[in-house]
Structure 1
Amino acid sequence: MQKKQFPSFLPAEAAALSEPTSLAIAEQIERLDVPTPLYPQPIPTAYVRQGQRKPPLLLLHGFDSSLLEFRRLAPLLSTEREVWALDLLGFGFTERVPGLRLGPDAIAEHLRAFWQTAIAEPVVLVGASMGGSAAIAFALAHPEAVAQLVLIDSTGIASGPALGKFLPLPVAALAAEILRPPRVRAAICRAAFHDPNSVTADAELCGSLHVRMPGWRRALAEFTRSGGYASVLPNLGAIAPPTLIVWGRGDRILGTKDADRFARGISNSKLVWIERGGHVPHVEAAAEVAAAIRSFLGV
C-alpha cells in the first residue's frame, strides 16, 4: 500500500487517519500566506480547494475544530461547485502566529483577507456552529461578497459567555487544557452526534488532531477571553442573501429552538431539518445535507 503524503505542518498523529474521506482531505490541505492588516507578517492559512464550477462555496467550521469537519460534505458538493474549506484564524491547522490576539473581530479581518486574496468573487458562505456566527458577521459586513448563506446548526442567537472576559490568561489557558485529554475529546464528539454509537476512532481523531498544533492552548484561551460572538438576534432582519438553515433534529449541543428563531428572523430563508442528525449533520448525514444545499442552489 502506498504511504499517504500529508503536509509537513500536520501533526504526526495524522498517520492514524483511516477513513477514505479523512485521508483524502488531509492530503489536500494547503497553506496560503494571507496578509492581514492586524499582524506584521502574513498568516499561513490552511485550506482545501476542490471542484471547479462557479460561484464557489466557502465552508467555515465550528469552535475548537478544523476543516476536517467537512471531510464528507466537501467532496459531495465539489461535484457541482468549486468548494473551499478554511481553517479560521486561531483554529485548525492555520498557524498561530506570535502575538496573536484572537477574537471575533480578528477572525473577521482574517476571513476578509483570505477571501480577498484567494477568491475575490461572491461566494455561497456555509457556516457550521460557530462558523455560522462568523458567516453571519461576514455577510453583514461584506454583503457584496456573499451571494447566498447556509447556516448549519449555527450559533448566534445567544451571546458567548461573558465570564471569559474576566479570566486572566493563565487561568483561561488552564481551562482550555481541560479540553485536551482524549477521553474529553471523545465525549465531545459523541455528544455532537445524533447516534453516539456511530462515532468511529477516525471521527474522534478528526475532532482532536488540531489540538496537537503549536499554540493551540493559548489561542483557545485568547478567544475565551474575547467573550466570543455577541448575539446577532437584533441584526437578523438585516441579512440580505437568500439563506438556508440546516438543523439536526437531535442537536444536543444547541438544542433545536434556535433553528426556528433564525427562520423567523431572516426574511428570505428556508429551514431544512435533518431528522437523524445531531449538532454536526454535515458529518453524520453528509449526503442529506449536501442534497439540501444542492436543492437550495438549484444544481
Structure 2
Amino acid sequence: MLTATTISASISPIGPRASTEGGFPPFLPKQVEKVKDTFARNLASRIQRLPVQLSISNNCIMSSCVKPMIQDTATPLVLLHGFDSSCLEWRYTLPLLEQAGFETWAIDILGWGFSNLEKLPQCNVESKRDHLFQFWKTYIGRPMLLVGPSLGAAVAIDFAINHPEAVDKLIFIDASVYAEGTSKLPKFVAYAGVSVLKSLPLRIFATNIAFNSLDLDTCLDWTLIGRLHTLLPWWEDATVDFMNSGGYNVTAQIPKIMTKTLIIWGEEDQIIDSKLAVRLHCELPNAIIRQIPKCGHIPHVEKPDAVANLIKEFIQTNNNLPSFSKQEENVLIPQLE
C-alpha cells in the first residue's frame, strides 16, 4: 500500500520546511495550511511569482514557479505538469533532481497553477506557448531539457516544434498527446462542466485512479494538493477559456520532433493506454522508452526515485551519443527493475 510515509522514507528533501521556516507565500489559497504531506508543504513554501511579459498581448503575468536552488552551466531541467494541475506535482522528484546536482525549474503552465490571472489573459494553446517561451527567454535563456507529464507532453511537443532553439532534449511521462482537443461549448454548459471538474467527489475519484494504490488518508490529502489551484478566483474563467479554444491537437506534429526524447510510462496507468506509449515511441524519430512497474499515471509522484534515476541516466548516458538506435531496443517496453 502506497502512503506518503513510505515515499518519505526513500527521499531526503532539501529546501525549507514550510511549518518551521517562514510559512507559505501569501498568494496561495489558505487551504494550503490543511495539507499534511511534508513534501508538498516544503515545495509550496518555495513557490514564487516572477513577472513574464507576453508578446501576443499587453499582459504582464506574475507567473508562479519554483526556482532552482542550484545554478549550473549544464542543461537546465524545466518541469511542466499535467492538465489542470500545478508545480506541486513535483514535490517528491524535484528535491531528488536537485540533490543530483541539476538546475531544476518547476513552472506552472499559463491558466493553471498559482499565477496571478486577475487580468485574465487568453489561455489558449498560443498563449500558453508564448508564456512558456517568454519565461524561458527571460529567466533561463539556454537550451533546456523539457519534461512534460500527461497533457504537459502535448505542451512540450507544441513548444519544441515552435521554438526548437529552446529545447535540448525532451522527456514525456505517461503522455497524453493523442487527444483531438476540445469542442466549443455554450458558456453555461462549459461553466457547469468546470464546476464538476472542481468538485471534491470527482477529484477524489481522479486521484484514486491516477495511482496504483492509495490509502484513504493519502488519497484525501493528495486530492487537496491536486485541487488547491482551483480555489483561486480566476480558475473557472481560465479553464473555460482553454476548453473553448479547442485545446491541444499535436498528433501530426509528433513525427516532426527530432529532439532526443525519453518516454517514461507507468505500467499500471489506468488513464492512458500503454498501447499509446508504444505508438508514441514508434512515431518519434529519436526516442527511447522505459516502463516503471507497479506504477500508475503519475510516476513522478508515485515512484519519484525511479523517475529521478531515469532522468539522471538519460542526461548522463546520452550526452555523447549522436542519436538513439531503435533497432537495439526490444519491441516490448523495457522495464525499470
Fold shared, TM-score > 0.5 on shorter chain: yes
Residue type matched to 1:126 in 2?
Answer: V
1:128 aligns with 2:149: yes
* Paired residue total: 295
SS at match of 1:46: strand
* Amino-acid identity (%): 37
TM-score normalised over the length of structure 2 = 0.84
Gapped regions of structure 1 (runs ≥ 5) = none
Mapping for residues 89-108 of structure 1, pairs under 5 Å: 89-108=110-129
The one of 106, 124, 147 equivalent to 2:168 is: 147
Contact 1:172 1:222 in 2 (8 A): no
Residue type matched to 1:75 in 2?
Answer: P
1:117 aligns with 2:138: yes
Residue type matched to 1:64 in 2?
Answer: D
Residue type matched to 2:181 in 1?
Answer: G
Cα distance in 1, alignment partners of residues 174 and 297 from structure 2: 6
Partner of 2:228: 209
Deviation at 1:37, TM superposition (A): 1.9
Partner of 2:86: 66
Partner of 2:248: 229
Deviation at 1:99, TM superposition (A): 4.1
Partner of 2:291: 273
Deviation at 1:260, TM superposition (A): 0.6
Looking at CA atoms only, which structure, 1 or 2, has the larger radius of gyration?
2
1:135-174 per-residue CA deviation (whole Å, 9 max, x = no partner) reads: 011111111111110000111123223xx32x12232111
Gapped regions of structure 2 (runs ≥ 5) = 1-18, 318-337
1:33 aligns with 2:54: no
The one of 34, 37, 49 equivalent to 2:67 is: 49
SS at match of 2:269: coil
Once superposed, what is the RMSD of the aligned Cα atoms? 1.6
SS at match of 2:265: strand
Identify which range, 94-103 or 278-287, moves more after superposition: 94-103
Change over 3 Å in CA distance of 1:208–1:4 after alignment to 2 = farther
Cα distance in 1, alignment partners of residues 59 and 194 from structure 2: 26
1:180 aligns with 2:198: yes
Which consecutive aligned stretches of 4+ in structure 1 deviate over 6 angstroms post-superposition? none
Contact 2:158 2:253 in 1 (8 A): no
Partner of 1:75: 95
Contact 2:160 2:257 in 1 (8 A): yes
SS at match of 1:32: strand
Cα distance in 1, alignment partners of residues 24 and 179 from structure 2: 38
